[in-house]
Copies of this chain bind each other. A is one copy, B any other.
Amino acid sequence: MPNDFFLSIENSAQGEKHAMQHVLGRLSYNNSGLIPVIAQDLYSRDVLMLAWMNQDAIAQTLQSGFMTYWSRSRSQLWRKGETSGHFQRLKTMRIDCDGDTLLCEVEQTGPACHTRRKTCFYLEVDPHTNTVVVTDSPPN
């Protein structure tokens, strides 16, 4: 699991720059060639969703400026919003310390969730009452 390349740059000081293609080429993908991507709303700072990218999805996201994921259920690239109109414009893309997760700040058009709720995280665990509470209704 340790990623030698990311280990080798972890003492870099603020402002240091590394060649983008070199770094992206050394990300840790899972056995399916995918990396988890967290989408966070640039303005509300709500975490909207987690989805997956492969190398092509990362390249297309950077090139187009629109979040483009790998759909594991449909086995194809999927520009978020291409059918719903609920696009995500990429504002920042960050990589974590061990190169196995991406965090993207986005400008979200409309709701992020396929249920048309604002975010996908509308189920909250309440250990005091041993229940899971629905925190948002789907729109009519």
In the complex, are the beta carbons of A19 and B94 less than 8 A apart?
Answer: no
Nearest chain B CB to A31's CB is how many angstroms away?
8
User: Interface residues of A, CB < 8 Å — how many?
Assistant: 58
In the complex, are the beta carbons of B38 and A94 less than 8 A apart?
Answer: no
In the complex, are the beta carbons of A73 and B1 less than 8 A apart?
Answer: yes
CB of A8 closer than 8 Å to a CB of B: no
Contacting residues of chain A (1-47) with chain B, CB-CB under 8 angstroms: 1-2, 9-21, 23-24, 36, 38, 40, 45, 47
In the complex, are the beta carbons of B36 and A40 less than 8 A apart?
Answer: no
Complex CA gap A133/B17 in Å reads 5
In the complex, are the beta carbons of A13 and B94 less than 8 A apart?
Answer: no
Nearest chain B CB to A107's CB is how many angstroms away?
16
Contacting residues of chain A (87-109) with chain B, CB-CB under 8 angstroms: 92-98, 101, 103
Closest B residue to A13 using CB positions: B137
Interchain residue pairs with CB less than 8 A apart (25): A1-B73, A12-B134, A12-B137, A13-B137, A14-B134, A15-B133, A17-B129, A17-B132, A18-B131, A20-B127, A20-B130, A21-B130, A23-B123, A36-B36, A36-B50, A38-B50, A47-B103, A50-B101, A92-B124, A93-B124, A95-B123, A96-B123, A97-B115, A97-B120, A103-B121
